[in-house]
Structures are given as structure tokens and as C-alpha cells.
Structure 1
Amino acid sequence: MARIPAVKRRKLTPPPTDGEDSSPSTLEAVPQTNSFFKQAANWDLEQDYETKPRKGKKKEKESTRLPIKTSEGLVQQHLEVEDAEEAEVEGSDLEWSGVEGSEDEVEIEDKPAQQRMVNTRQQILEAKEELARIALMLNEDPEENSGAFKALAQIGQNKNTTIKKLVLATQLAVYKDVIPGYRIRPLSEQDMEVKVSKEVRRVRAYEQALVGSYQAYIRELAKLASSGQPDSSDGGPSLTSVATSCACALLTSVPHFNFRGELLKILVGKLSTRKVDENFTKCRETIETVFRNDEDGTPSLDAVALMTTMMKGKGYRVDESVVNTFLHLRLLSEFSWKASMNHVDKPKRGEEEMLAKKPKQAKVFRTKKERKLMKERKVIEKEMSVADASVSHDERDRMQAETLKLVFVTYFRILKMRMPNLMGAVLEGLARYAHLINQDFFGDVLEALKDLIGHAESGDDLEDSDESDETTRNLTREALLCIITAFALLEGQDAAKAQATLSLDLSFFVTHLYRTLHGLSLNPDIELSAKSLHLPDPNNPSASPLPTRNNKVNIQTTTVLLLRSLSSILVPQLAARAVPPLRIAAFTKQLLTSSLHMPEKSCTAILGLLGKVTKTHEKKIAALWSTEERRGDGTFDPLTGEVEGSNPFAATVWEGELLRKHFAPSVRDGVKTMEKNILGLR
């Protein structure tokens, strides 16, 4: 029989009495707690607190020396050697630095200034690094980093002027690199509803981000350019100059892109001021560059429209160089139609064009599907031509025609108002645009020129002119420019049409020039140009030197203007215009008399012109050199106001004998050439 293991007996805890806990932990902790309280009764807490180490000021070293009495009678404790040496060192440092007060005060004054300088340099350095990083991202992949445009703009909100300049320059470089060669049109609601591929959607999002950021950048440029901030204290350009330079660079590099009108407004706003400074010159040169490089005519039309509106609003009180910018338009050499202020004479289709038309081709049968495909293909080709910015000749002619009308409106209004400082520029411009003026506008311009010369002769303009004008009117130069312009307008017309349809009398201008020849020969400033520097008349202290330094286009001397006028009258380029012999003889006699009083260079130039006249019209004026026979009766009257009434053939050319003995060899050679032409020697 197997043995059964004995049952394991457990020790039972006696039942707890009232107020006692039966847990063994409690029973064991009771004697430990009693011993803790017994030991605590023996602790000396005050002594422990007193000996406990604590942080605080170091205990001053107690001096073991007796107090002493100073020479002033004060009793004080004697300093230790170490303390005295430290005090002497501190005092010497303060004396050497030249600062009065304690060391703490010096630190309070010096540390903030140095800290601000260090912080500013650190900010600029960090801004440069961040701008370089963002620009590199945009140049590598602008479509994937389109949000970086806003990051650049946020950095530009810094109050530091240097950082703002860096941001403007960085944005300029980035936009010049990433702007595409086409104009981005805004998306309509219909375009947004069309389902497109993921690639197209990504490109659209990038283009809209580019246009939005570019618009914000241009608005910032406009605000800074019109702020008129002074130059910065660091010697560099101001924010206004930097913003103006950025606008000029954008207009020159990307004139085809969006918001071209906003850029033009910035430049035209600078040109509206009469203060000619560096920003003014930069804007004017940029406008001239746009005019020269414009191929389709739209940027030029926008610029001219803004400039004409600005000048009209300013009452044409602008600088002369603003009007001279019209002379850089490409339509001067490319445009072939004639225009006025109101309309343009478009050439009619002639027989040659009708013959040059393509012959009709046999009609080819196409199915409905083929016709639909051809129609869709034409629409796509039209959109592609717009995207490629291809220039249409008809569209360019239309734009240039509108531009020409605006230019003529400006010129004619200035002529009517007779603005003193703009007359030279307007007359020079009309002479350049003479071949583009139609017959309707031709008569109005001539009447305005006659009115201008009439007022100049009577001196009414000088009495009515404002004394505050910066430029004093030179009536002699204005009259000569009017004569040049009048004959240039006639020569710019077609010869056949001018002879058949234009019944215009230019004798008024001829008579005026004949009257002023003697006065011009006695003018001491006849060889001085607008850029010549000369002193005023010492016998007339109240007189000031000719204030022609501000003239830009009209820089020719009075002698050159006189020669241009005489060449138009005596040696015309228009073959249909025959010069009467009486007019040639009267001017020849008057010029030889006037050349006796002119300086050497002017006299040589006049004799050179008479050499051409005698070569072309030798038979008409040969009688002036004949002393034995006379073709006219009566006497010669050089002081008469009429060319035909002077009776030139009643006189002889005796001035040649004096000019033959002139001190200048060039004058003597000119007289010999003229006489050889008259005698028929070759």
C-alpha cells in the first residue's frame, strides 16, 4: 500500500483585537517609528541650520589694522594692499578710457551700440544667404518652387534699408530669368471648368503664382519710386533710385509681359517732373530704348499715349528732352502712310496690287470631317501665332498710325500755345516728320508757323511771356526753324502731287528770311551753339549769357540754321519747284554784302553755298558780274522788305573785290570758285 504524504500545516495568525491591524507590515513598522521619534528628540536643528552652507556674497575680509587719520582730518579704515592695488587698477582703466563714472555705467552705454551693429551685420549676412538660396531654387526649377516668390516678398518687408535693396535686386534678377517669352492671360470661369491633365494644371498654377507675385513686385516698385526718399546714409543709392532702376530694367528686358502699363506709369511719372536728375535721365533713356527696339508698335503706342496725357495734364510744362523722345520712334523710318491729327491716309489698292493677287484655284472637294479639321487647325495656328508673338504687318501699321496721330496732336497743341522752352523741339520734330504729314494737316501747320513768325517779329510773345520761365526765347532761332520746317514739309510731299494739288504760297517765309539777313550778319553770337560757353556783354551788365544750355535737340549754331534755310530756298531738292531768277539774284547780292560782316567760318560757309548757287543757276545771275551792261532800270534798294522790289539787277557784285583780299585763305578760295562758275570755267 502506497504511502500517503502528510498534509502541510499552516500557522494561523491569532485574531486581531480591537484597534490593532492584523497585517504584518504594520506590526513591523511600529517599533521602527517609535525609535525614529526617540532619536529626533536629540537633534540640534538650530546648529545644523547655522552651519549649513548657503549662496551669497562673500564675507568681506576683516581688517586687522587700526584706523588712520587722513590729512583732511577724516578717520577711515586702512585698506589692505590687495584691495588698494585693485582700486588703483580700476581707476587707471577709467582714466585711460576717458569715461567718468563706474565700470557698470560704461558697460551699459557701450554694449547696446555694439550689439546693434553686430545684429545688423548678422541680419544682412543671413538675408544674403537666404536670398541666394531662394534664387537658386527658382532658377533650377521654378515650377516646383512657385511658393518661393512669396518668400522673397516677405523678406522684403524687413525695416532694414540694405535688406530691402537686396531683395529688390534679387527679385529683378529672378523675374528676368523665369519670365516666359509670351504674355500670360487670366483664366476665365469657362477655362476653370474644363478638365485638363495634371501637367497642364501644374503649369497653370505656376503661371498664376508668377503673375500674382510679379504684380505685387511692380506695385512695391511703384510705391517706392514715388516716395521720393533721400539718399541713404551709407553713400549708396536710395530706395527710390533702386526701384526706378528695377522698373527700367524690367521694361527693357521683358516689354512683352503682363503689367507693361504699370511699368510705363512709373517712368512717365518721373518724366513729369521738371527736375532733371539721374532718375529722370535713366527713365528717358529707357523710353528711347523701348521706341528703338519696338517691333510690333504696341509698347510705343502705350508709352506715347501715357506721355501725351501727362503733358496735357501738366499744361506742357515739361522738359524739352521729353518731347525729343518722339524722334526715336521706329515709325520715322518704317511707316509709309501719311497722317494728321484725326485720320490716316491709307493707300488704295491699285491696279498693280490687283494684278499681283493670287489667281483663283480650282475648288477641291472636301468632306465634312475634313472641313471641320481644317477649321480647327486654323484656330490653333492663330493661337500659336499669338503665343509666339509674331508681328503682323497690318497690325503694326495700325499701331504706328495711332501713335503718329498722337504725336501730331502734341506738336500742334504746343505750336498753338507757343511754349517757350519747347518750340525748338517741336519745330525740329515737325521737320523730321514732314514726309508723314498729309495735305489736310499741312495747311494748319503752315498757318501756325506763320503766326509764330508774326508774333516773333512784333515782340508780343516776349511781352506776354512769364518772367519765371527757365529758358529765354531766342526769336531768331525760332524764326529760322520755322522756315526750315515749312520747306521741309513741302519737300516731304510727293513731287507730282505737290505740283498738281498743293497751291501753297511760301513767299511769306522767303520774305522774312530776306529781311533778317543783315541783322544776322551783325549778330556776334552767330557761331555759338547751344553748348557753347561765353560771358555776357561787359558793356551791358544786366544782360545774361544766352541760356541755351538746356537745349538738347536744337544745338546747331545760327550759321548752320541759316545755311539750311537758304539751301531750301535757293537750291531746293524738289525738282518741280523752279526758283525765279529775281529771287536768286536778290539773295546772292544780299548774301555777298552780309558776308563782309561775318566771322571767318560763317563767311566761308556762305561763299560755299553761293558756289553751289552759281554752278546751278549761272545763266540766271551772270548779269550781276557784268559792269558794262545792266538788265534792270533804276537803283538797287537793299533795305526794302520785298525780294522782288529790291531791283537786284540794277546793281553789280563789287563785294568780290574786297573778299578777294580777305585775310582768310578759305574765303579767297571761295570767291575764286564762285567767279569760275560764273565765267563758265571748269
Structure 2
Amino acid sequence: MKKQKSKKGGKKASATKLNNKLTTRLARQGKLKKKKPRKRYDDDKNNPTVSTTLDNHQQESPPQSDLSDDDVSFFSTPGLNTSFVNSSLCEDSTSKKRKLAEDAISPFERRPRKIVHEDHDQNLKHLLPIKTKKGAIIPQSTEEDLIPDEKEEPPEEETHDKPNNVHVPEVLPELTSIQLMYMRKQKLLDRRRRIALLASALIENPEANIRKLKELRLMLEEEDPDVFLTVRKLAIVSLMEVFKDIIPGYRLRVATQEEKSQKAKKETKTLRDYEESFLVNYRHYLEFLEKTVRGQVSSKKKGHRHSKTNGINDSALQQDNVKEMQIMALRCMCDLLVKHPHFNYRNNIVTVIVPYMNKADLKMSCIACETVRNVFREDRGGHVSLEIVKAVSKMIKSREFKVKREVLDTFLSLRIKEVDYKSQEEKMTGQQRKDMMRKMSKREKKRKKKMEELEKELQETKATEDKKKRMKLHTETIQAVFLTYFRILKGGINSELLSAVLEGLAKFAHLINVDFFDDLFKVFDDLITSQELSYRESLHCVQTAFVILSGQGAALNIDPMTFYTHLYNTLFQVHAGSTSEDIPIILSCLDAMVTKRKRQVSQQRILAFIKRLLTLALLQSHEGVLGLLLAVRSFILTYKSSEMLFDNETQGSGVFLPELADPEHCNAHNTMLWELPLLKRHYHPVIRQITTHVSLLTPTSGEGQLGPDLARKSPLELYETHHSREDLFIPMPLNKTSSKNRTLHNKVGAHNLIQKDFSLSAEETFLSVQLETGNKSEGLTSDPMKYTNIKHR
């Protein structure tokens, strides 16, 4: 081994140190010769001065130990540690000295010294000094509050009364109710300010203040028992408004680990971090809303103990708080789905909302159903509608079709007008495509691939790909709807959802596949002939059947005579009262049965329907009468044979039989339209105008013609126009009358809803009837004002 050269400028070891190292190495190797001990005592005895000191030293020396001479000689060898020998020799003496020294120290000497400041108000505690580069030492100290010594024992007088080791709690001052309310108000004010600042910062610049989104979300976990419920509500609503404002118009995708490991620009990394943080906070917010809606988040104050007397009140308050939080959370989720149906976690929101459509709670059920309707109305792509329809169908099937009617009524809001069943039929499976490719030659395969590429490029330039996707989604959606409808139809008449199913089939009848037509007609005929359906359900069956026949089912050999008979018999069962909600169904049926099938309807059938519609018009409100009169007008314009109903003379043998069920054999040609003179005196001016026009055989010019605003409208449009108007009549002010007159007004009823113009028209009608009849005593009273209180029914 070569010795390493010492570094230049290094310190040299002293001779003493080198000698000690050499001695230690030889002692370890056993080569060191043992030295004989020196005889100090013999030499010292010869010297008298030394002997006297030796005697004194022997008197004070510690007792000898049990060590042998060899051990003493070994440990006395230079270079070896002899602390063990010295400690064993001096152990007893040092222990006694230490005990005496500790007993001699007074207790105040053990306490740490503190230097009192000059003003005697503060203490100074010394710290380690600082030494500057020039060698000056700067002392350091800090100030401390004067704290009484905890180790100091209390006076004897006080310790006699208190037992040892007993902790006396500190008594806090009691606060009044006003002080508590003030403290709660201050806490709420601070929380509201904080929420407002965070929300405004996020809306102003979401990317720069994304960390504040987490801070705002953590306020959902407020645990202060005084304000936690209010703060949570404010945080829920504030987060919902923030998310509605800053959610982008596209779905966010979290980058994979491979993408993160790759090199990217600083802007790209910043954007990735922002999107990832945004999605995490959005997911946690939706999870909190889901737990709140399901009642898994407690709204009870932690540490709150209610007494026995207030137990019932506290439990009721607890239930109200939970219910209020559930409704608020459900409304927030619904608003997010309606505002941003394209964003992430859409399917999770749908799975939470759909079960609450059939909830026993009416308020939560209405919120969920209305949300689904709004999504169906505003959905243009079709993705959200398909997911919701599948979720609703799955829920209905799992509950064995025992759901509310409002759940199925939401399907009526779907905006589906076209479907494409041919594309699904022509779509080849993978095996069929492989078989076709095997039969083709190489040249044909190359040509087919080029044609597919060209078609794809053309679709991209024409933007027709979205239309095909939308059509495909609409087709899948309507198939799921019809599958649910057909499953309910299998249940028969006893199903409570039958009316909703028939109404849905009537609306989407033009989208039904041709393969189901025969089975549907048989089911409808059996349902109507059973006479267990309501008149509204019967109308829906007739409407569905004729919509099918007017569309794809026109080529089918199906006799619709039974459905004409069903509609003719159902007209007199329609509700006659203040509302005419069933008139639109009747008008749509007449349009499909009579207007669109001009050459397939006989003369007797048309005359019977005109007579029955005018009879029904006498029993309906003004909007229903307007729709029925326009339908009769269109029949008179289309069928010239209807002029027989305006002639008093009979056109053949037989007598009109209005109670007969078959319109072909009721002899409607032997009657006349005596309802028109009554409708000419109707209280509604538009009804009087249209009735005069119809009684003159619908002239297109001259006296009695209709204006362009009425002539161009369809019966359904006129009905909806007047049905939506609520300010048709202005209420009359009540006059002060006697008790007899007041009782008379109460018996007749509804006198405060009549106009002054109506009273004048009633008086004119009374006088004209008197002049025509010439008899004032039969069936009429001499007081014309009595007729002003008659309510139209």
C-alpha cells in the first residue's frame, strides 16, 4: 500500500499524538512490554514532609477496592482508559458529596433567572449572542409576558378547602339570546361575503382563480352548528350558478399518463391542469348533490341535544330541513342538465333524476318531469333524449309498469318527426360484409374502397353526416318508446297507463313501423268494442288508427268503417262544461277521417257528422264552438251534397234517427240544421259571424263572407288562439242591492263575470224573439234583464 501524500498546506501531527497512536497499536497487537509499577510509598516515607501529607491523605482516601495487582498494573499502563478504576474507587465519596450539595441548594436557586425590564412591565429572556465579522459580540433577548409560576404552591389557607388533584373548570359568561342572534348574524354575513367574493372571482377569470373553486366547494362541508344549514344552501346555489356560467360548450377529456409524460408547451400544461381541476371539483359537487337528494347528508347540528319536551318539534324541524335540502339539490341538478346537457357526467345526472319522476312527493316529481320535458324540447342532437328514454323505459319495466301517468306523458314532448327504418334493414352485419368481399374481385374491391372514401368526403363537404346520425338516434329513441307502449298494451284494459299509451300512439302514429299495423288495428278494435274505455281513450284509438291509414298504412286492405262508427257514437259522450279540452282530439280525428279521405266517405256519413257536430257545438264553450264551426264550414265547402241540410223539404223516405249508432242508416238527409239560428244569437261575436257565414252556404264574396284572418285559419288554430286568451271578458263591478236581489243573483250565479255589452245583446235577443213569436206569455218573461244572468253552458 502506498501512503497517500498529505495535502499541501495541511497541518502536521504532533509527536505526542504520533506516540500515542503507536502505543495504542502495539497494545492491541500484544507487543507492548508491561512496565513495573513505581514504588512511590517507600520513597515518600523517607521524606518526613511527604510522609505527613501521605498520612493525612490516607485518612481521607477512599476505601480500597477488590481489584488485584495485575488489574491495577494493566489499567495503569499509559494509553489505556482507567476511568472505570477511578469511578469504582470514587463512587461512594462522589455520591455522598452530590447529595449534600443538592440538599444545600435552596428551591429559588433552581428557578430560571429572568431579567425584569426597566419599566417593570416586561421580562427579558436571553438568547444566543451574535458575533460580527470584526469580533464584536451583540447580546440578544426577547420580551415575555409575566406569567405566574405554576410550580409555586398556593397559600395554606386556600389549599385546606380544595382537595388534591381536582381540576376546577373555568366558568364562561352566559350570553343572552340577543347576543347569540347578533353573533349568528355576523357569522352569516362573513360567510356570505366570502361566497360572493369567491363566486365573482371565478366568473371573472376561471382559469386564473381555479383554486378558489375548491375553496368554495369546501364550504359545502360547513360544520358550525349555528350557520351550517344556511351556508350549505348558499354554497349549493352559488356553485350551481358558477358552473352554469363557466362550463364550456364541449366535453372535457382528462389527459392520459402517456400524454402527460410527453413534452408539451407551458400553455398546454396549464390548460390540462385547469381542465383536470375543474372536472374534479365538478364531480365532487355532483356527488354531494346526489347524497343530499337521497338524504345521506345530515342536516342536524353536531353536538345538539334536544330535551324531551322539544323532541317532537326538533324531529319535525329536522325532517323539514332534510326535505328542503333535497328539493334544492334536485333543482340544481335539473338546472345543470337543462343548461348543459352535453357536458361530462350527464349520464350520472340522468340516473339520479329519472327515479324521482315517480316519487310520491308531488313537488319533487313535478320538478323531475318538467326537467325531462324541457330536455326533450330543446334537444337537437338526440343523444340526451335517447339516454333519458332508455332510463325511463328501464325504470318502468323494473317497477312492473306501476308508475304515474306523468312519467309516460313526458314522451309527448319528444321532437321526432322522421325516422329511417330502411337504413337499419339494409345495414349489413360483419359476416355478411365479409361474404360479399370474398365474392368480389380485386378490382371491384379497390373500386368499392375508393367509392366509400369519395362518399365520406362528399358527406363532410355537404355536412350530411350530422343528419344521418340524428336520424339514427331518433330511430333508436322512437323504437324504445314504442317498445314501452306495446308492453303496456299487452296488459290489456286493466292497465292504468292505457290512456297515456293511446295518446302517445296517436301522436307518433306516423312513425310506427308497418310490421305492427295489423296487430294494432286488432287491439284497438277489441278495446273499443269492450266498452270499458273512457271517451277520451276511444278518441285516441280512433285518431291513431286513421293517422296510420292516412300514412304508410294507406296501401293496407283494412276496412275503417268500424272506427267511423266509434267516433260517431263517442261525440255525444264528450264532456259538456266550461272547458273543451277534448275538442282538439275530435278535430284531428275529423281531419284524418273526412278531410284527407274525400273520395272514400259516403254522402250519408258526411251529413250525419255535420248534424252531430252542430248539436255538440251547442254544449261547448266558445273556443270549442269556434273549432267545430270551422270544421263544418270545411265539410260544406268540400261536399256539395251538404246543401240538403239547409232545405226544409225531405229528400227521401224515412225519418231522422239521432239515437241510431250507425251514421249510414240514421237518415240524416231528412233533417235540417236548426242549431244555426240558435248560434246566431251566441254571446261571442266571432261565433255569430261564422254562424251567419255558414247559414248562407259559406259565400266567398259578398254578404256574409269571412275575413282573411278567419278564412285562412284551420279549426285547430282558431281553437288554440281563443283558448289561450284569458282576458275575453271584463268583470262587472258589484252594485249594492237588497237582500232579496242578492239571493236571486246567488241562485243564478256568475253575474260578476258578464259585460255590459252582453246585457244589451241579451235584451235585444229577448225583443227579437218576442217579435218573431208574437207571444209574450209562452215560455218568456216580461223582465229582459233576467236573461243577463244566464251562464252559457
TM-score normalised to the size of structure 1?
A: 0.60
- Matches of 1:679 and 1:250, distance apart in 2: 56
Among candidates 381, 392, 400, match of residue 474 of structure 2: 400
> In structure 1, the residue corresponding to 2:600 is in which secondary structure?
coil
Cα separation, partners in 2 of 1:115 and 1:526, compared to 1, 3 Å: same
Out of 671, 677, 682, which is 1:653 matched to?
A: 671
Larger Rg: 2
Q: Which residue of 2 is the match for residue 569 of structure 1?
A: 593
| Deviation at residue 247 of structure 1 after TM alignment | 1.0
Does structure 2 conserve the Cα–Cα contact (< 8 Å) formed by 1:274 and 1:318?
Answer: no
Question: SS of 2:282's equivalent?
Answer: helix
Matched, 1:275 2:361: yes
* Selected match of 2:526 from 440, 443, 451: 451
Q: CA deviation at 1:565?
A: 3.7
**Structure 1 pair 191/275, CA: closer, same or farther in 2 (3 Å)?**
same
Please tell me whether the aligned partners of residues 527 and 558 of structure 1 are also in contact (alpha carbons under 8 angstroms). Answer: no
Give the fraction of aligned pairs with identical amino acids, expressed as a percent: 29
1:399 aligned partner, one-letter code: L
Counterpart of 1:487 in structure 2 is 546
1:411-439 per-residue CA deviation (whole Å, 9 max, x = no partner) reads: 33334434765444433333332332332
Indicate if the aligned counterparts of 2:604 and 2:664 stay in contact, CA closer than 8 A. Answer: yes
In the alignment, is the contact (CA less than 8 A) between 1:337 and 1:344 conserved in 2? no
The answer to whether the Cα contact below 8 Å between 1:224 and 1:240 also exists between their aligned partners in 2 is yes
Answer yes or no: is the 8 Å Cα contact 2:195–2:216 preserved in 1.
yes
Q: Is the 1:528–1:557 contact (alpha carbons within 8 Å) kept by the matching residues of 2?
A: no
Which residue of the partner structure matches residue 203 of structure 1? 271
CA distance in 1, matches of 2:658, 2:183: 85
Q: Write out per-residue CA displacement over residues 143-194 of structure 1, whole angstroms, 9 at most, x where no aligned residue.
A: 4554444433333222311121122223223333443332122433443443
Task: State the distance in 2 between where 1:157 and 1:444 align.
Answer: 58
The answer on 1:507 being equivalent to 2:589 is no
Question: Partner of 1:309: helix, strand, or coil?
Answer: helix
Give the corresponding residue for 2:382.
297
Q: In the aligned structure 2, how far is the partner of 1:599 from the partner of 1:253?
A: 41
- 502, 510, 526: which one aligns with 2:576: 526
From the superposition, tell whether residues 294 and 595 of structure 1 become closer, same or farther in structure 2 (CA, over 3 Å): closer
Of 253-262 and 306-315, deviating more is 306-315
Conserved? CA contact 2:577–2:619, under 8 Å: no
Q: Measured at CA, do residues 680 and 178 of structure 1 come closer, stay the same or move farther in structure 2, by a change above 3 Å? A: closer
Among 501, 507, 517, which residue is 1:432 paired with? 507
1:322 aligns with 2:407: yes
Q: Distance in 2 between matches of 1:668 and 1:203?
A: 70
1:284–1:590 Cα change, 3 Å: closer
**Which runs of structure 2 are paired with 1:99-138 in the superposition (5 Å)?**
110-111=174-175, 117=181, 120-136=184-200, 138=202
Alpha-carbon separation, structure 2, partners of 1:621 and 1:506: 22
Q: 1:146, 1:603 → 2: CA distance?
A: 62
Q: Report if the CA contact (8 A) 2:202-2:212 is conserved.
A: yes
1:578 aligns to what? 600
After superposition, the Cα gap between the structure-2 partners of 1:235 and 1:614, relative to the gap in structure 1 and judged at 3 Å, is same
- For 2:236, the equivalent position in structure 1 comes to 168
Contact 1:288 1:328 in 2 (8 A): yes
User: Are the counterparts in 2 of residues 511 and 641 from structure 1 also a CA contact under 8 Å?
Assistant: yes
* CA distance, structure 1, for counterparts of residue 701 and residue 635 of structure 2: 15
Deviations along 1:302-321, one digit per CA (max 9) or x if unpaired, are 22222222222233333333
Mark the CA change 1:252 to 1:419 in structure 2 (over 3 Å): closer, same or farther. Answer: farther
Q: Which residue does 1:557 correspond to in 2?
A: 581
Shift of 1:483: 1.8
CA distance in 2, matches of 1:654, 1:54: 123
Matched, 1:158 2:222: yes
Q: Is the 8 A contact 2:503 2:537 kept in 1?
A: no
Q: How many residues align?
A: 492
User: How do 1:412-431 and structure 2 match up within 5 A?
Assistant: 412-417=486-491, 418=493, 422-431=497-506
Structure 1 residues 567 and 129: CA distance shift in structure 2, 3 A: closer
Q: Distance in 2 between matches of 1:190 and 1:399?
A: 34
The 3-state SS of whatever aligns with 2:221 is coil
Q: 1:56 to 1:607 in 2, by over 3 A?
A: same
- What letter corresponds to residue 406 of structure 2 in structure 1? S
2:334 partner SS:
helix
Distance 2:617 2:155 in 1: 115
Q: 1:628 to 1:590 in 2, by over 3 A?
A: same
TM-score by length of 2: 0.52
Instruction: Output the aligned Cα RMSD.
Output: 4.8
Note the residue ranges of structure 2 that are not aligned, 5 or more in a row: 1-51, 57-153, 159-170, 300-315, 428-452, 703-793
Question: CA–CA distance in 2 between the matches of 1:439 and 1:306?
Answer: 26
Q: 2:638 is aligned with what amino acid?
A: T
Unpaired runs of at least 5, structure 1: 1-16, 20-52, 58-106, 348-374, 462-474, 530-555
Distance 1:660 1:257, change over 3 A: closer
Q: Whose RCO is larger (CA < 8 A, sep 6+)?
A: 1
CA contact (8 A) 1:300 1:403 kept: yes
Structure 1: how far apart are the matches of 2:464 and 2:220?
Answer: 37
Contact preservation (8 Å) 2:656, 2:671: no
Kept after mapping to 1: 8 A contact 2:219/2:235: yes
The DSSP-based 3-state class of the residue aligned with 2:411 is: helix
Shift of 1:624: 6.1
What SS class does the counterpart of residue 325 from structure 1 fall into? helix
